[in-house]
Structure 1
Amino acid sequence: MFPAAGLALTGLLALSEPTRTVGLTLPARIILVALNVWLPLAICLAASRWVMTSTAARLLPYWLWLSLIGVAAAWISTPAFVALEGWLQPLDLDGGPPGSDPSLRSFLQDWPSEAWEAGRVVVPVWLMLNLAVRWSRPAVIGVEAAAGGRPGFLARLPGRLGDDIISVRAEQHYVQVETTLGGELLFCGFGSAVHELTTQGAHGMAIHRSHWVAWPHVAEIYTVGSEVRCRLKSGQTVPISRRRVREAREAFDAFRSLPARTA
């Protein structure tokens, strides 16, 4: 959905000729508009994925995180916006000469105000896109979902899925949970999911920043070329981050050494 929204915004803005693109040809206008749309969008997507797959996700409310990410994207993108405007030289409707190129000192002084102007667009659009994504997925279970006294992460799962979790996979602001009875997409950060699973004592580990697996459902850890992977008993394979290979092997070996009744 995000790529489609980016393309739609780029086309709409390029054809409507915003104030800061006055005097530019259509190709130049498309270039400037595309940077203004895709750079903050790329930063927002990358930052939100990093946040939602880390333990930082549980430190602040979800929508506050998204707002802060939008502000940061606007602030970081501003120098690129200004630099491209200086190169393309649109008309300055504030009275300056076309393509006026302010000094570095002047730009640094104006950066907060330029970032504020960008943020007034970036943050609302980013939040609306995320609202649209959430509304377009009516089957997603929200963070408030709970099931009859089940502990920790299990409280998020609908009862029909049982409590035998096979794996959890990060999906942007959601997690895809697979159990022996089926799968479900949950509105939850991956970092929060891993924290809750660890707290409730689940036998498993986040072997990758986007994948958590339950040891009872792991068949083997093996090497293919330079990659180390985890094969589940269902046949699915999951990558293991290089920095987590040793820890994953040790944890899996320790689990297999446990008495069979604890598996």
Structure 2
Amino acid sequence: MGLTLPERITLVALNVWLPLAICLAASRWVMASPAARLLPYWLWLTLIGAAAAWISTPAFVALEAWLGPLDLDGGPPPNAPDLRSLLRDWPSEAWEAVRVIVPVWLLLNLAVRWSRPAPIGGEAQADGRPGFLARLPHRLGDDIISVRAEQHYVHVETTLGGELLFCGFGRAVHELTTHGAPGMAIHRSHWVAWPHVAEIYTVGSEVRCRLKSGQTVPISRRRVREAREAFEAFRSLPAGAA
């Protein structure tokens, strides 16, 4: 193609890393928000990939205009587009990008999901922290406040911040329970640590858990009695025994 090194770098950056960066940023935001529950996980990934392709299309068109007479697509040299032609060609160019970006994005997620082994409960990790704690970035520390299910991810909140982790909620609860974390899955999507629970209270027909941070978490009806008993048992422990 006769591209210079800066042109090659720009070509790769715009055609590969730009849509990938958009996909990663969008997926982290969506999966950590309540919107993640509205659609199936893989449908969200498909929509995110399509949106990234649509957003990246102007950069692809601008790239061809910048490279001028070079033949990027095996056809005649492209002409520098004006705003009118860009708007006219945007849908067709975006569709071509969608046909490439979406399958690649889905395959990358599938590969990550299948290739990342989950730590086995009871197995100490290389950094000395067992089970679920080994998943946490060191900057978040070990003092977990709560864990919330987000499709194939969990959102973990600690006293130092929050993070979205690639881990099933059931696996997270199993590892926390195996290693004696002082807490409980009070809902099919929520685990809380008793040291950070302020109270369990009733609002109408609902029973909720209020954390010391001010956040409230619902308690499943079938777990209300167990949650109350476990919380009272924790509060009755001598200071420093938890």
Of residues 80, 91, 95, the one that matches 1:101 is: 80
Gaps of 5+ in 2: 121-131, 133-143, 148-155, 157-162, 199-210, 217-227, 235-242
Residue number among 152, 159, 178 corresponding to 1:181 in the alignment: 178
The letter of the residue matching 2:195 is H
The correspondence for 2:106, drawn from 108, 127, 131, is: 127
Q: 5+ unaligned residues in a row in structure 1: which ranges?
A: 1-21, 142-156, 158-164, 184-192, 205-213, 221-246, 253-257
After superposition, give the CA deviation of every residue in 1:128-153 in whole Å (9 maximum; x if it has no partner). Answer: 11111011124379xxxxxxxxxxxx
Supply the AA of the counterpart residue of 1:85. Answer: E
1:218 maps to 2:196: yes
CA contact (8 A) 1:71 1:119 kept: yes
1:251/1:86 CA distance change after superposition, 3 Å: closer
User: For 2:164, which of 154, 164, 171 is the aligned residue?
Assistant: 171
Superposed CA offset, 1:45-69 (max 9, x none): 0111111111211211111111111
Equivalent in the alignment of 1:45 = 24
Within a 5 Å distance, the mapping from 1:171-210 to structure 2 comes to 171-174=164-167, 177=172, 179-182=176-179, 196-197=188-189, 204=192
**Structure-1-length-normalised TM-score:** 0.52
Residue number in structure 2 paired with 1:76: 55
> CA offsets per residue over residues 181-239 of structure 1, 9 Å max, x none?
339xxxxxxxxx998445xxx6x4xxxxxxxxx3x13399xxxxxxxxxxxxxxxxxxx
Deviation at 1:166, TM superposition (A): 5.9
Structure 1 CA distance, aligned partners of 2:15 and 2:113?
24
Shift in Å, 1:116: 1.1
Given the superposition, is the C-alpha separation of residues 89 and 175 from structure 1 closer, same or farther in structure 2, using an over 3 Å criterion?
farther
Classify the secondary structure of the residue corresponding to 2:39. coil
Give the root-mean-square deviation of aligned CA atoms: 3.6
Task: Provide the rounded CA distance (Å) in 2 between the counterparts of 1:29 and 1:179.
Answer: 48
Amino acid at match of 1:261: E
Paired residues in the alignment total 164
- Tell me the amino acid that sits aligned with residue 217 of structure 1: P
Do the aligned partners of residues 73 and 171 (structure 1) sit closer, same or farther apart at CA in structure 2, a change above 3 Å counting? same
The answer (yes or no) to whether the contact 1:49–1:172 under 8 Å persists in 2 is no
Please state whether the residue corresponding to 1:171 is helix, strand or coil. strand
Structure 1 residues 107-118: aligned runs within 5 Å: 107-118=86-97
Is contact 1:52–1:173 with CA below 8 Å preserved after alignment? Answer: no
Contact 2:57 2:94 in 1 (8 A): yes
Q: State the identity as a percent.
A: 64
